[in-house]
């Protein structure tokens, strides 16, 4: 009887070991791309089932450009992303074609942990759970993977960083100054609080780093790491860096210091006003929390839109001029005291607005 029990235990252990060896789960981290949606990288999950001879990638960040009103839904925070599955070989072909490296971290999990992970993964991939509202900071391909690892008991450190989420984002945009300018224009002051290690995992590279340092039940989470593809180096010059917003706006500021014709003033006033309306609309109506409380609206004031007709008729408005000058001064104070950090390209824009408003105030004083 004892011998039979011993043999049974040995058989069960061997079956569990066999089942465990037949399933491999890995986290894939893809390097940054050149498209707007790919500049921060990507995270996916690879599952190899040797018994059923499948090798698939579970994707958390899929969307359809053909979605009706795509741009509006994205800005409103109502664009539905979805989870999907594709063959690993096809996944690698796409990222190799885009010249993006795919880094694999194979997880060291027990049979129970693998089962729990896969059950949760398959549940999330069910038709009724597949779609979700995207959030740049809180619900994307990287945070979904982080939360899935937490579900099986992985604990991540949560120490505060000496960088804000804006700092983390900007580090990816140094070679794309116009995109950096645009993103910082629409992001509010909440992005300027110091981030922490848990929050930083909204970025795939930071998730990869934290997974590499994580433990599960006292052992390292990662069993092995490797690069799955090879790519050619991309040495194309970036026209964004040559004609950066800092350069363009600086040249305009110098030009307008000596020559600021009426048509240019009308265009500038209208442009600042329309942009201010856009910032205000995002603040009031978008579901993305990161675009709310955006103090760019102080200098990029919607009131410039009201001022435009006065310029067209060669008229001035003392009250409007005083409000616009005051809002510009407040913007500078906000930046100096780091209430909200503005993009460096705003400096020459401040100069342009200063020239614009001082010239208008001088007209009022002459009357």
Read off the pLDDT of residues 75-134 as tens digits, 9 standing for 90 and up.
777 778 888 999 999 999 999 999 999 999 999 999 999 999 999 999 999 989 988 888
Residue with tokens 């008729």: 313
Q: For CA atoms 102, 108, 112, 116, give the dihedral sign.
A: negative
Residue with tokens 């960088």: 163
Q: For CA atoms 185, 32, 130, 221, give the dihedral sign.
A: negative
pLDDT score of 18: 44
In degrees, to the nearest 5, what angle opens at C-alpha 112 toward C-alphas 109 and 116?
95
Using one digit for the tens of pLDDT, what is the confidence trace for 282-333? 999 998 899 999 999 999 999 999 999 999 998 888 999 999 999 999 999 9
CB 24 within 8 A of CB 47: yes
For all residues of the chain together, what is the average pLDDT?
90
For residue 359, give the 3-state DSSP assignment: helix
pLDDT score of 14: 43
CB 188 within 8 A of CB 165: no
Per-residue DSSP letters for 245-284?
HHHHHHHHHHHHHH---HHHHHHHHHHHHHHHHHHHHHHH
Q: For CA atoms 139, 140, 141, 142, give the dihedral sign.
A: negative
Residue 92 tokens read as 């690698």
For residue 42, give the 3-state DSSP assignment: strand
CB 125 within 8 A of CB 83: yes
For residue 150, give the 3-state DSSP assignment: helix
Distance CA(267)–CA(286), nearest Å, equals 27
Using one digit for the tens of pLDDT, what is the confidence trace for 155-213? 999 999 999 999 999 999 999 999 999 999 999 999 999 999 999 999 999 999 999 99
Residue 341 tokens read as 């950090």
Distances, alpha carbon 217 to alpha carbons 15, 113, 229, in Å:
22, 11, 32
CA R_g for the chain: 27
Per-residue DSSP letters for 145-209?
HHHHHHHTT-B---PEEEEEHHHHHHTT-TT-HHHHHHHHHH--GGGGSEEETTGGGGSHHHHHH
pTM value surpassing 0.85:
yes
> For the chain, what are the domain ranges?
2-159+197-227, 244-366
For residue 109, the Cα-to-chain-centroid distance in whole angstroms is 30
């Amino acid at each position: 009887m004892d011998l039979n029990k011993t043999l049974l235990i040995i058989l069960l252990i061997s079956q569990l070991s066999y089942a465990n060896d037949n399933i491999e789960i890995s986290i894939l981290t893809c390097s940054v791309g050149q498209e707007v949606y790919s500049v921060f990288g990507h995270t996916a999950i690879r599952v190899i089932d040797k018994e059923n001879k499948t090798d698939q990638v579970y994707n958390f960040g899929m969307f359809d450009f053909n979605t009706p009103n795509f741009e509006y839904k994205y800005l409103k925070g109502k664009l539905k992303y979805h989870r999907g599955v594709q063959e690993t070989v096809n996944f690698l072909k796409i990222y190799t074609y885009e010249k993006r490296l795919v880094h694999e971290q194979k997880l060291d999990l027990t049979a129970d942990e693998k089962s729990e992970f896969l059950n949760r993964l398959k549940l999330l991939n069910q038709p009724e759970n597949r779609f979700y509202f995207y959030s740049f900071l809180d619900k994307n391909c990287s945070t979904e993977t982080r939360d899935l690892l937490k579900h099986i008991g992985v604990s991540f450190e949560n120490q505060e960083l000496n960088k804000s989420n804006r700092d983390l984002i900007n580090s990816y945009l140094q070679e794309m100054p116009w995109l950096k300018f645009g993103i910082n224009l629409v992001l509010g002051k909440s992005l300027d609080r110091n981030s922490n290690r848990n929050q930083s995992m909204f970025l795939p590279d930071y998730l990869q780093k934290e997974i590499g340092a994580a433990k599960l039940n006292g052992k390292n989470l990662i069993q092995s790491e490797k690069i799955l593809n090879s790519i050619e180096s991309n040495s194309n010059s970036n026209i964004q860096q040559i004609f950066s917003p800092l350069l363009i706006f600086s040249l305009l500021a110098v030009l307008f210091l000596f020559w600021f014709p009426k048509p240019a003033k009308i265009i500038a006033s209208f442009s600042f006003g329309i942009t201010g309306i856009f910032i205000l609309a995002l603040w009031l109506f978008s579901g993305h929390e990161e675009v709310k409380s955006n103090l760019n609206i102080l200098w990029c004031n919607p009131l410039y839109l009201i001022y435009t007709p006065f310029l067209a008729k060669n008229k001035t408005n003392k009250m409007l001029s005083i409000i616009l000058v005051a809002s510009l001064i407040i913007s500078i104070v906000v930046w100096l005291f780091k209430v909200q950090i503005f993009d460096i390209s705003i400096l020459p824009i401040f100069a342009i607005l200063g020239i614009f408003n001082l010239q208008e105030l001088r007209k009022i004083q002459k009357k």
